[in-house]
Amino acid sequence: MLKLIARRLLQMVIIMAVVSLILFLVFDSDKFKKQIATAELGGFSVAAMSDHDYQKWLKDKGLDVPVYERYAQWIGGLLQGDFGKSFEKDAPVSKVMGERLLNTGILAFWVFFLMIPLSLIFGIVAGMKEGSFQDRSVSFIAVFTTSIPEIATAILLTVIIALGLGWLPSKSAMTGGWNSLELVLPVLTLVLYDFGYVARMTRASMAEVMTSQYIRTAVLKGIPYARVIMRHALRNALIAPFTVIVLQLNWLLSGVVVVEVFFQYNGFGKMLLEAALFGDIYVVQAATLVAVFVAVLSQIISDVGYTFLNPRIRFS
């Protein structure tokens, strides 16, 4: 087990090194340097700038140093916990990113808090009796809600709840300080979009367990049905959904850009998009590394958790 984890972690470090090197090379192109200049000084003044002034500007920003030197410097800083400085915000990347990560963390927490019980209950109820009315209706609802893209769910909820009924604010920019009401619509959107997928996985896993021999034995032994479900079936049926739920972490961190942008919620994904459009190299670098790190880490957790929970794999 430890060997497996160590190998995966090593793989992750290699992947992150490759990724950061590629990003550095990409952002070192003249096109991107011009993009940063344009974003900071405005297109007009960049066009009017003489070559000498442009070189001076590059020097001020520390962009005239060859790419390998900057990369070495950046790696050195990274080892000391320094992610570099944001060009756009003129602040350390770790501070900018910390705030955004916290916001996304709060969003993710509430999504998990609502989504996990909802999808597990729906999935278990559906999987208990395969092909029954409850199964078919849950499956249909699940296909339906996952088929509506996040952006469309966001629009439907905003139009009905915020614009039509006027119960909630339609934007979540939190301009007037923290406001929990503004969090409701993004959370609801993400829960509605995501719960169907997890519910379907739970349903499939539960349905498979219910056809197995030991459940039939338990039923034939005369154990009460509720007890069969709670004590015998659930233990095995919840292994597969566990791995799926852990993998949702990755999606919540960076896959929800569109919801964050639509509701103007200042989360991690929106920061990544803004930084990429600005050409804010160090922010993009740091954000990509965090995203890759979380993606690989959630995969490791789900794999290790799976082997840990499933004795058939653990002991073979």
Partner 1 sequence: MTDTTMPAPRLSLTQRLKRPRALIVLSLLMVIPLIAYVMFGEPLARAGIREIVLIPAIPATLILYALAMASWRESWVAILGGTLVFFWVFVAVSVPFLPLLDPNKPIRPFAPPGTEVGDITFWLGTDLKGRDMLSRMLWGCQRVLVWGVTATAVAYVVGCIFGLIAGYISGIWDEIISFISNVLLSFPVMVLFILILNYLGPSGFNIVIAVTFASAPAIMRIVRGLALDNKTRDYVFAAQTRGEHPFRIMVVELLPNVRGPIIVDACLRLGYTTVAITTLTFLGLGLQPPDADWGLMIKEASNLMVWQFSYMLLIPALAVSSLILGFNLMADGLREMSLRD
Tell me the C-alpha distance between 44 and 292, whole Å: 37
First to last CA, the chain: 12
Q: Residue 18, interface with partner 1 (CB under 8 A)?
A: yes
Q: Is 175 in the site for partner 1 (CB under 8 A)?
A: no
Residues 212-251 binding partner 1 (CB under 8 A) are 250-251
Q: Looking only at residues 60 through 99 of this chain, which bind partner 1 when binding is defined by CB under 8 A?
A: none
Regarding 144 and contact with partner 1 (CB under 8 A), the answer is yes
Residue of 8, 21, 23, 301 that binds partner 1 (CB under 8 A): 23
Residue 25 CB, shortest distance to partner 1, in Å, is 11
Angstrom distance (rounded) from CA 269 to CA 250: 11
| Rg over CA atoms, the chain | 25
Q: Which two tokens stand for residue 292?
A: 């890759």
Q: Closest Cα partner for 203 from 283, 126, 314, 291?
A: 126
- Residues that bind partner 1 (rule: CB under 8 A) add up to a total of 47
- Which helix (DSSP H) or strand (DSSP E) does residue 150 occupy? helix 150-157
Site for partner 1, residues 257 to 296, rule: CB under 8 A: 257-258, 261-262, 269, 272-273, 276-277, 284, 287-288, 291-292, 295-296
Q: How far apart are CA 264 and CA 86, in angstroms?
A: 21
- Min dist. Cβ of residue 54 to partner 1 (A): 21
Distance CA 182, CA 172 (A): 5
Please give the residue ranges that form the binding site for partner 1 (CB under 8 A). Answer: 11-12, 15, 18-19, 23, 26, 32, 143-144, 146-152, 155-156, 158-159, 162-164, 170-171, 250-251, 253-255, 257-258, 261-262, 269, 272-273, 276-277, 284, 287-288, 291-292, 295-296
